Amino acid sequence: MQTTTRVAIIGGGVVGASVLYHLTKLGWSDVMLIERSELTSGSTWHAAGGFHTLNGDTNMAALQGYTIRLYKELEEITGMSCGLHHVGGVTLADNQDRFDMLLAERAKHRFMGLETEIVGPEEIKKIAPVTKVDGIIGALYDPLDGHLDPSGTTHAYAKAARMGGATIETHCMVRATTQRTDGTWDVVTGKGTIHAEHVVNAGGLWAREVGAMAGIYFPLHPMEHQYIVTEDVPLIRDMAQDGKEHPHVMDPAGESYLRQEGRGLCIGFYEQTCRPWAVEGTSWDFGQDLLPDDFDKIEQSIEFAYKRFPDLARAGVKNVIHGPFTFAPDGNPLVGPVPGVRNYWSACGVMAGFSQGGGVGLMLAQWMVEGETERDTMAMDVARFGDWITPGYTLPKVIENYQKRFSVAYPNEELPAARPHRTTPMYDLFSNMGAVWGHQFGLEVPNYFAKTGEPTYETPSFRRSDAFDATAREVKAVRGGVGINELQNFGKYRVTGPKARDWLNRIMAGRVPSPGRVALSPMLSEKGRLIGDFTISCLADEHFQLTASYGSQAFHFRWFLQHQEMGVTICNISDQRTGFQIAGPNARNVLAAVTRDDVTTMKFLDVRRLTVGSADCIVQRLSYTGDLGFEIYCDPMDQRSLWHSLWQAGQPHGMTPFGMRAMMSLRLDKFFGSWMAEFSPDYTAAETGLDRFIHFKKNDAFIGRAAAEAENAEAPARKLVAFEVDAEDADVQGYEPIWLEDAVVGFCTSGGYSHYAEKSIALGFLPTVRVDEKPDVLIEILGKMRAATVLDQPLFDPEGKRMRG
């Protein structure tokens, strides 16, 4: 057996084989896959083998499209068959909400190049004649949908990898993974020890156990899943005789997916009475095994399926396949470098392996070989969960995700399982004030505050929700007086040491401020992509505070540690520093009433240490609301004291608490971008306007400088602009296509309703050559074309007089 390798991939399912192949495709031939049994042992061998492109995240949908198109390439490379059946598929909608979701997805597909279409009941009956269309409004038809042979596909990946120089060692049980001081790994197996520079955990059902060998907890859990194969069905048999194959049918109302199998049908369920499997851990003895048949838990699902697909009721059962699949808490894979562990990579939790496995393999290979991926991978980045996550949190979220597999995914939905999990000292006080909670990175965050008699739950919707009036009230309070909002949901980092300024000048593209000042800066990847949108506060010559997205803190801190240097100490203090922001024309008066310092001399982007009430605080003058405002940071132990001081002082000025719904409306007044909407690794600084914060005159070779300078010298192909939209009851959410002259020329990044201006606003990309024309465009919202006009100045305080005054 080979005893050294550049990469050791643990796990021989379709995902591990895909990673192996893509590493060789990108030029790394000294790579090795280690499998405890045979290839496909685990969940791969008993998978139904279906594939589709539909996914609520556009990047995941694009990667699923890549995966599906890859199969023909694999067949050509290897001469092996993947058993492809490109039969197409329809996803049914039996109510307006489901139909709205399909309309939104179809709109996204327009600029992604996916040729899906909306079809009505009569067309559904022609496309998928096994379907009874009573009560069906419409469906999304995708010609790329289909199914394949799981075993043949996995072995095709393996053969292609071997052709690229890879090694595969089967019947080789991994017993331990131990890291050496130089960051490399000893992978101890039943056949001997393999010394590897990198380890990839593609353990599937055993990913938790493989991770535990390195002291890593992976938030995933296996769930029992069952599908049934019938005897011959006359309608299917007749179609087969005519050389036709029935397409897939996804029926969210029945929590089922259906396809042809031979001359019968295969139908699987995501039932509400689901069951987790191997709660205490996956046995090493489990392999190409199945679970006992369990018709009781799918009884209601089968009853519904018989009504939707009457032919099923007349067909005998040929086979029952009941086996476990692994899920992460949100249903997406866990991919990428594990935070805090050098040279350890994750390729786990890929529940839809034959829809996503190719894209996962490509992204991980690019990450390892090139240092970054070609597109934003946040939806599947292992760093989207922090070290706060536990098995006690993971299990109920996985169960919830399984049950919601075919449910409508609303843009404003807040799922309840395992909540509240993490709260601040303000949780009970805000709850008593009517807070309606959302969550981010496990943290409870107020979305808005309901008054007596108003709904304390925001009804999920693609249209303006029942939070509309409360949000309007909070926006009015900020713009007309003063609002207060909690600051916990910012990622915060302390950077200290004699080399702190030099390090920041290299890690950040923008200006590093002098003591007592604050600066805004993008953080770039080597290729010039946006990987952070930061506020840098200089508290002293060798002491800085950075703030950014709370939900991306593990992602950002991983980057910091990967680039840490001698003379710099970096600490994630996101949960060690909290506080409030106050914003509005009366914000200065409130602050002046609770501190003895003269805050009238605080200029825009100043930062000071002040005693506020009885609390020692860091106060900086800026606000994401775009108004006169202050961010006031304190120790969590002082937060309630700080609150009482600010709240008491704010009463004469009409102080009102406001939540994230109001914050998102307020930022639209100023056309401020939002992280993971306008600013993400899919975009560059010049495209989004953040290049105005890049300090090209500094002498430091900051990361991404060459790419940013090249783009600065030649204008980008697209630019972010703001639109006023002639909307009705639905505003832009993100990724709606922008039409100009009967063609899709761009897409929206986010949007919403400006309660200050009483207008529907969208942010999105237009071709740079058309921006100066300020063309009238159409934005497709839920299947309807809405007229939109380019705006050239912010709706509120366009000259920044109140913000800077």
Distance CA 103, CA 119 (A): 11
Distance CA 508, CA 229 (A): 56
How buried is 428 (Cβ within 10 angstroms: 0-12 exposed, 13-18 middle, 19+ buried)? exposed
Half-sphere exposure of residue 499, counting CA atoms within 13 Å on the CB side?
A: 11
Backbone angles phi, psi at 422, to 5 degrees: -125, 130
Alpha-carbon distance of 303 to 316, in angstroms, equals: 15
- CA–CA distances in Å: residue 129 to residues 121, 151, 259: 11, 30, 12
The DSSP 8-state label assigned to residue 448 in this structure reads E
* Residue among 136, 148, 47, 48 at smallest CA distance from 90: 136
Here the tokens at position 770 are 């058309």
The H-assigned helical ranges of 48-113 are 58-78, 96-112
Task: Give dist(CA 71, CA 76) in Å, integer.
Answer: 9
Please provide residue 110's backbone torsions phi and psi, each rounded to the nearest 5 degrees: -60, -50
- Characterise 87 by phi-psi region: left (phi > 0), alpha (psi -120 to 50), beta (else): alpha
Cβ neighbours for 787, distance < 8 A, ≥ 6 positions apart: 725, 726, 776, 777, 778
Beta-carbon count within 10 A of 69 CB: 12
- Return the structure tokens found at 130: 């096994």
Q: Closest Cα to residue 118, out of 742, 785, 783?
A: 783
* Residues in Cβ contact with 187 at an 8 Å cutoff, skipping those fewer than 6 apart: 8, 10, 34, 174, 176, 177, 193, 194, 195, 196, 199
How much is the mean pLDDT over the chain? 96
Written as one letter, the residue type at 564 is Q
Q: What pLDDT shows up at residue 287?
A: 79
E strand spans, 85-191: 89-93, 117-119, 138-142, 146-147, 167-169, 174-179, 185-189
The dihedral through the CA atoms of 592, 596, 599, 601 has a sign that is positive
| DSSP-H helix ranges across 594-717 | 639-650, 660-669, 685-688, 705-713
- Other Cβ atoms closer than 10 A to 413: 16
Judging by DSSP bridges, how do beta strands 117-119 and 138-142 pair with one another?
antiparallel
CA distance 93 to 186: 52
Q: What 3-state class would DSSP assign to 688?
A: helix
441, HSE (Cβ side, Cα atoms, 13 Å): 20
Residue recorded with tokens 């237009």: 766
Helix (H, G, I), strand (E, B) or coil at 593: helix
- Name the CA radius of gyration of the chain, rounded: 27
Sheet of 221-230: strand order equals: 117-119, 138-142, 89-93, 248-251, 256-261, 264-269, 221-230, 317-327
H/E stretch holding 321: strand 317-327
- In sequence order, what are the beta bridge partners of 200? 9, 345
Other beta carbons less than 10 A from residue 286's beta carbon: 18
User: Which residues have C-beta within 8 Å of that of residue 432, sequence separation ≥ 6?
Assistant: none
Q: Are 153 and 82 spatial neighbours (Cβ–Cβ below 8 Å)?
A: yes
Q: How many residues does the chain have?
A: 805
Which is it for strands 435-440 and 264-269: parallel, antiparallel or unpaired?
Answer: unpaired
Give dist(CA 339, CA 344) in Å, integer. 9
Note the Cα 426 to chain centre separation in Å.
27
Regions of the chain with pLDDT less than 70 = none
Cα angle 235, 238, 240; round to 5: 110
Residues 6 or more apart from 793 whose CB is under 8 A from it? Answer: none
pLDDT of 607 = 98
pLDDT of residue 253: 94
**Neighbour-count burial of 651, counting CB atoms closer than 10 A to its CB (0-12 exposed, 13-18 middle, 19+ buried):** exposed
* Contacts (Cβ under 8 Å, ≥6 apart) of 475: 658, 662, 665, 666, 755, 756
Give buried/exposed letters for 250-259 (b at 16+ CB in 10 A, else e).
bbbbbbbbbb
Cα–Cα distance between 133 and 309 in angstroms, integer? Answer: 9
Position 53 scores a pLDDT of 84
CB contact at 8 A, 484 and 582 = yes
